[in-house]
Amino acid sequence: MKLSLKRISGKLKFLVQRFGGATRFVSDCCCITNNVSAWAECCDGNPRIYLSSQIPCTTTVIKYGPNCYRYVPFSEITKQEAINLGYTVVEDANLITCVHAECEEPPCRVCPQDCCLIEIIPTGCRVDLDQDPRNNQCCNYGRVARRFITDITRNEFRSRVSVNASPGDTYCPPGCSHGLQKVFNLTTTSYEEEAQFQRCDINGTLDEQTLYCTASDYRREEQSTRRYGFEGEPDQPCLGYRDSVQSDEFRNQDCRYGGSLLGFEFPPPRPNPTTGLPECSIFDRQTGPIPDNSNPPGEWFYTENLARERGCFTGSYTYSLVGVKRAYQNSDCPPPGTVVATSSVTRTFTYSIQMVASEHCEGNAYCERYLDGRRPPPSLEDPLNTIGALALL
């Protein structure tokens, strides 16, 4: 046994060190303190508790509740500091069992393997991970997790034409005939996927793989163009027409994202047209007028909406951009302000993740260590930075 004098937290203390074991015993030179020392869970270091220095336990391993804890050398702080940092402080000796064994020996548990599916995602409206852990989120999905994805889009366009006939026209009705449907285009896509992933097998052996992936991918395209008699369609009266219609469907069952649990591209935020900064929430933003001289000529007015949320287990993205094209104010036919075309683009993307199994993935060690970067370090004096301590013996 070795006895030395060191300065800890501004006080001189006798340090009793046992060869072959960790530093454990610290006592004040002159008085009893209300300090506490850190003990870390044996397997992964989390959770961490603080134990009153007055509890008479001479071992370097203790049991508190279901877990065993290992003493953390040179970790002594005040009780209030530990409370301020959010740690559990144990002062009742009846809640502690001194374990005369190593961490992974009975009565302590056998430590689990690293079988947790762990992913780090950005928080807020960010797309890329930040070097600062405070701007990221650590997600633990257990040993096996199941993921569902849906991605539905709809893109529609309609246009109208007009004809202005003179009073003596015998072919077309006199005056302005407007609001006549001309073009209709619609494209819809629907994608659904279910996949299951594992980090370890049921025995706790590392075996990271996609257990299964099923998908349904559907796409439909419709195109319709109407040609009127006044546009030169043969054998048709002035407002008579003939439609040209085409439609196609595509189906397959190929998985897009079966490679890894978060191996899909979540739709990004939209840039603000004024600042260029990304936005994840837009409510009825109005844009226009935007001139468009294509047939029929007019001005576009748009309404935009967006709701985007991303978390560990759920995420949703809903976007819509609805446009209305109106005739110019100097238009003769159709009248000024008449709707001559409409457009709409919508997309809904959602995902959800379920934890299926968590054997061999106990606790949340990785995320606790990762998120420790969010917690400010305790303000402690380095106990090894002693000046002439041994000279005082």
The first and second tokens of residue 224, run together, are 């319709």
Q: Is 201's pLDDT higher than 80?
A: yes
The first and second tokens of residue 243, run together, are 């439609």
Taking CA 163 as the corner, what is the angle to CA 158 and CA 166, rounded to the nearest 5 degrees? 170
Q: Give tens-digit pLDDT for 239-265.
A: 999 999 999 999 999 999 988 899 999
Residues 249 and 186: their CA atoms lie apart, in Å, by: 12
State whether residue 369 is helix, strand or coil.
helix
pLDDT of residue 104: 67
Measured CA distances, 16 to 27, 162, 382, 391 (Å)? 9, 98, 18, 16
pLDDT of residue 5: 38
pLDDT of residue 369: 67
Residues 219 and 370: their CA atoms lie apart, in Å, by: 42
Q: Is 371's pLDDT higher than 50?
A: yes
Measured CA distances, 318 to 134, 149, 313 (Å)? 26, 14, 17
Query: E strands of 229-338, at which residues?
Result: 241-252, 270-271, 278-279, 281-292, 298-310, 314-326
Q: Which residues are paired to 264 by β-bridges?
A: none
> Looking at per-residue confidence, does 45 or 376 come out higher?
45
The length of the chain is 393
pLDDT of residue 111: 67
Residue type, 95: L
CB 163 within 8 A of CB 230: yes
Lowest-pLDDT choice from 128-132, 182-186, 308-312, 341-345: 128-132
Taking CA 272 as the corner, what is the angle to CA 266 and CA 276, rounded to the nearest 5 degrees? 95
Mean pLDDT of 373-392: 38
Lowest-pLDDT choice from 153-157, 272-276, 313-317, 369-373: 369-373
Q: What integer best gives the mean pLDDT of the chain?
A: 84
